[in-house]
């Protein structure tokens, strides 16, 4: 299954060109590796960046391909907020994803 989706980068490793992405459908996380074909060539991802990508559902994991960065630092503090224990999280801790999808 392949679909175009928005997501926020939770973790990125610039030296390995890998990333973990929180998807707008709030399903399982998606993984990106530079070994995948991508329109993202040459742009470094950072935690909190809003991206759009093709999601591929594998048997054991989801992968992101053809990444496009939509907004740098869109949800910059999100990874830190997710690390806090649930009782310490602020109410209304929701990331709003764009509603229109590119074709």
**What CATH number is given to the structural domain containing 43?**
2.40.50.140
Q: Is residue 11 part of a domain?
A: yes
5 and 52 Cβ atoms separated by less than 8 Å: yes
Q: Is residue 93 part of a domain?
A: no
Q: Is residue 92 part of a domain?
A: no
pLDDT tens track of the chain, all 103 residues? 568 999 999 999 988 889 999 999 989 999 999 765 455 455 689 999 999 999 999 888 999 999 999 999 888 887 777 777 666 555 555 667 777 655 5
Q: Is residue 44 part of a domain?
A: yes
Q: Is residue 74 part of a domain?
A: yes
Number of independent structural domains in the chain: 1
Range of the domain at 26: 2-83
Q: Is residue 99 part of a domain?
A: no
Residue 70 is encoded by which pair of tokens?
């939509």
Question: At 102, is the secondary structure helix, strand, or coil?
Answer: coil
């Amino acid at each position: 299954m392949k679909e175009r989706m928005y997501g926020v980068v939770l973790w990125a490793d610039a030296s390995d060109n890998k990333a973990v992405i929180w998807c707008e459908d709030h399903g399982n996380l998606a993984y990106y590796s530079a070994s995948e074909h991508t329109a993202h060539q040459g742009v470094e991802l950072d935690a909190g960046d809003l991206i759009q990508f093709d999601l591929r559902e594998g048997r054991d994991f989801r992968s992101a391909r053809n990444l496009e960065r939509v907004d740098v630092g869109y949800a910059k503090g999100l990874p830190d907020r997710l690390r806090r224990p649930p009782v310490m999280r602020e109410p209304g801790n929701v990331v709003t994803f764009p509603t229109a999808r590119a074709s």
